Each structure stands twice: as C-alpha cells, then as structure tokens.
Amino acid sequence: MWMLVGAILGCAGYSYLGFNEGRGIVVSAIIGTVGGVLGGTMIQPLFSATATAAVPGDFNTSGLIFAAVAATAFLAVGDVVYKRWRV
C-alpha cells in the first residue's frame, strides 16, 4: 500500500506540479515509491507508539500518512537536486 501511495504521488507530482520534468514520469514514480516505503517502514514506527503490540509492517492510517509525507519530501528533494546539479 505504501508503494502504491508513493507511486501515485510521484505521478501526480510529475503531471501537476512539474517535479522531475527532465527525468520523466517513471523516475518520479520510482522516487515516490522509495519515499513511500521508507516513510511507512522506517519513519512511521519512530513517531507512533501503540498501547497494544502491533505487528511491524501492519497496515494503519498513520503509516499511510507518513508514507505520503515521505514520498512528497523525496520528490521535492529530487526536484531540487535535479534543478540545481542536473543529476
């Protein structure tokens, strides 16, 4: 689910916001997917604690929100890097 959210945000960022225009829509989707996975698996457990013993990697809404925020941040940083250094 995190990969799907990241890929959708990558495609939307490319289409509507013009992120990573020189790289293409596929690269934007890949950057968004990586951001979504890292946000959902690594960043979300740092900030959300539950009273019950939740299974790591289990789907929850906060994980989805963190995945979306991380994917957006990755896309924004990727766009800045591309515009600044053409990498």
Mean pLDDT of 11-31: 91
**What integer pLDDT is reported at residue 52 of this predicted model?**
47
pLDDT at 6 over 90: yes
**What integer pLDDT is reported at residue 54 of this predicted model?**
57
| pLDDT level of residue 22 (50, 70, 90 thresholds) | confident
Return the structure tokens found at 71.
């994917």
* Alpha carbon of residue 58 to chain centroid: 17
Mean pLDDT of the chain: 87
**What integer pLDDT is reported at residue 32 of this predicted model?**
95
Give the predicted TM-score (pTM) of the model: 0.87
